[in-house]
Structure 1
Amino acid sequence: GLRESQNGAGWRALSGEVCRAQQKASAAHVSSLWPLLRPPVGEELVGRCWPKASPLLFFPDGLSFEASLPNVHGRAGVVLADECLVVACNGLTGSRWHGSVQLHRSPSSVGSGECLASQVADSTVAALVVLTPTSFLAGLDSGALELLRLSKEGEGAPEIESLFYQCDHDAGLTSLALSTDGCRLASTGWDHSIKIWDLRSMQCTKTYVSAHADVVWKVAFSADPHVFISCGRDGQVRSWDIRLSRPATILGHCPSVPRALDWQPQSPSTYAVGLECGQVVVRDLRQPGSDVTLLRPHRRPIHRLLFCPVRPSWLASCADDCLVALADTSRTKDHLVYKSQEHTEFVRGLAWDSGRLLSSGWDGRVHVHAGMAPSMQLASGEA
């Protein structure tokens, strides 16, 4: 979607009764922007909207109307070791987006209005990363990185408190990734940059100002804590070494714009890239020009990929087709082993926990996909 700071225009999102015939032309699934000329307002744009929702209209002259959009929950969430769920809840009230981080005892309480603790953010929350069972980092659409901690005094209710806040990105954050040794954090943003943070001092130690020629969507560390990969809207996947000032490698050509990626656990060279066309390619750094495996789990842009930490060949994915899929990359054929249609809106997050796959979406739900691997042990991931 468009942001108020983009292109120097005060774009505002609105939803209301559609009266004009040309405005009714927008269908339930809109993936493009069309100019609708109507003086004196000028150009109106109809933006992407989710299934069963009203059209989104953007007015460059700043006009706004009361919106009637559903609340958006779970763009980012994590499973903590104390069996609680931390979920980022983002919503639209009127023409203003707002975000918060909430602590829930179980996935079923998400969206009910009841939570164990909550912390309001200064903007919507784009990503969460677990540091310890009681502390985590939030990446915000304001461009800030915020350190949050879970605290409890005596028999009182738990609280989420802010310990650190710093706005280093010039635009909203898009993803966060923790190095395998837990000492570094990588953040990416709409400002085309990648930043490396020292978690011991909470200082930004390195900035790749023009890491990509457009928005940097995702970043993921390898088993080597000095090496990570990134993908952007410029269509490139790049490999980086923090000991070097420039990208170590530009990793081949993708058949579509890369939107998500993840590094296979314990592997020094295998990673997966999710594409805008709905395909997933599994590649090896040692063979940058070829695909090890090609998967077709979705028909719309992929938003998130997540390998299972205790069964590394299992790769979960979610996309704008409202599906959650699980593929076994070790198979030579019939890779898809599970697919769920439980969500009714876009799916935005995934996490592994004790053999269960959890997913979150714009329908305000966190769904548990149980029974896929009973012998698995506790693991966690971004959702």
Structure 2
Amino acid sequence: MPLPLYLLALAVFAMGTSEFMLAGLLPDIASDLGVSVGAAGTLTSAFAVGMIVGAPLVAAFARDWPARGSLLAFVLVFSAAHAVGAVTTSFVVLSATRFVAAVANAGFLAVALTTAARLVPPGRKGRALAVLLSGTTVATIAGVPGGSLLGTLLGWRATFWAVALVCLPAALGILKGIPARPGRTDTADRPSEPALRAEISQLRSPSLILVMLLGALVNAATFGSFTFLAPLVTDAAGLATPWIPVVLVLFGAGSFAGVTVAGRLSDRRPRLVVAAGGPLLLVGWPALAVLAEHQVAFLTLVFVQGALSFAVGSTLITRVLYEAAGAPTMAGAYATAALNVGAAVGPLAAAATLAPVGNRGPLWASGLLVLAALLTALPFSRARQSSRARVL
């Protein structure tokens, strides 16, 4: 894989740390700013909404900009938003900074996904996406638990400052390592990019809409439970507060394993990943809810669910890039939007279960979201099998 991919992954690490770090900081933020834990959980949704809005709009606006300049600008805005969030005493202002940071993150990911696809041969998009998303999974292994520990020792604001500072070497790496207009050397043989209207018209494709919907549902399940993992650790599992970073590391290690394995299969055997991982993911969330008080089972299932969530989720997002091949500058925006529709819906659905069900409610909500994904995919899969049978 080209070195610029790893430089992009460094920036994704900083952004992934920010996106996931609230899972370990929600109780402290809620206490400091005088809001409930459920209300603090909406910060995750505010971030996701900014990603949903920002991905297509920013990608469309910046589609003719040099990739290096766009990526650098997005990282610097992201850093500045976290600096403001670190000093504010207003929950409303903090929510606004999360939205602004999310728009910058969305723009970055939309351009980065497209850039990553152009840096590798056509049949290796899945591998390139795995490298890019490894920044997110490493964030869940090191950045998020480290942020949680830093928040425990110095307060949640210190974690926001840390994210702002980590963005600076990422910005330098982009400036030095990313070509202004990345692409393969055969650009003379490649047709010119289609007009924006033609790229947007790709959204009429049923198969593209389907994989975007499936990716959104699986990601909603992931974010729904992950956002409220900290209170689950200390309440249902009965573990002490210092165990929260350990559990986040376990989930992150699982996610890294999942995205690594899926990266090798999603180009050639995506159906195998979804068909095998989807049902296991469906069973895993309710199992985690039922067995939460059994600490060994709880810790094991956290790792397994992290692996399955990212294996299935990253495979579906890779398929978005393939299905949107006719929209070369907007495909990354479509993939980003699919990811973050789920990231917005998941925590809201999970938060709605806290009052009637308790801290295990988000796990049950995640199971229902995965069930909805599988039920949505099943008729389409059967239709394709019938179509193939008629052809044969």
Q: Which TM-score band (shorter chain)? A: under 0.3
* TM-score, scaled relative to structure 2: 0.25
Greater helix fraction, Structure 1 or Structure 2: 2
The TM-score normalised by the length of structure 1 is 0.25
The structure, 1 or 2, with the larger RCO (C-alpha pairs under 8 Å, 6+ apart) is 2
